Amino acid sequence: MIPRLEYTIVDWSPETVRQRAMELGEVYRQAFDIDPRNTLQPFVDNALVRHTDYDGYRCVVATDDTGNALGFVYGYESAPGRWWHDTVRPALVERGHAGWLRDAFEYVEFAVVPEVQGNGIGSRLHDTILAQTRCASALLSTNAGPNPARDMYLRRGWIDLVPQFVYPGGNRTAMLMGLDLAAWRQRNGIALPA
């Protein structure tokens, strides 16, 4: 049995994310079991910090009673000309899913430190960030095949759009998933944000 953990879900402004980017990077390192000898600076600079300037950017963080990050999720509005949008577009078009890219929220990074997983933090982070977007749909990529993150996404209504996707220059297979946010809001009794 997992002991009950007290935590708070808070929005971090782009400025707070920039100031505390290395803290989020450490959450990411732990969640994805990245070797401590590998520097997080490229991830922090080229993703966490750079993305704070994108339209529709949101970052939601779970913090402990001292304000330390236990988990986070962030994303922004999808737009042509951005790397992920343009990279996944051909695969989505080929499978007949081009419409998913219109008015979409890119659910970019999601991480919870392993020691606190199982306390509902991931589900709360997921629901909080998506309840706050006005976009019609959400898109993400996750590792292909069975994994805890994909299982959570499926339970929350995400569907597989492209089950086998390999990023350029990559060697791991990912899966592209989509969520109809209007249907998700209706199922969960969530009003469209003002």
**Domain contains 3:** no
CATH number at residue 99: 3.40.630.30
**Domain contains 194:** no
**Domain contains 44:** yes
**Exposure pattern of 68-77 as b/e (b: 16+ CB <10 Å)?**
ebbbbbbbbb
Nearest to 126 by CA among 141, 143, 107, 99: 107
**Domain contains 193:** no
**Domain contains 171:** yes
How far is residue 74's CA from residue 11's CA, in Å, rounded to a whole number? Answer: 10
Q: Which value, in Å, is the radius of gyration of the alpha carbons in the chain?
A: 16
If one counts the domains in the chain, the total is 1
pLDDT of the chain, 194 residues: tens digit per residue? 455 688 999 999 999 999 999 999 999 999 999 988 888 989 999 999 999 999 999 999 999 999 999 999 999 999 999 999 999 999 999 999 999 999 999 999 999 999 999 889 999 999 999 999 999 999 999 998 888 889 999 999 999 999 999 999 888 899 999 999 999 999 999 998 87
**Domain contains 133:** yes
The amino acid at 110: F
User: Residue 139 sits in which domain range?
Assistant: 8-188
How far is residue 153's CA from residue 148's CA, in Å, rounded to a whole number? Answer: 9
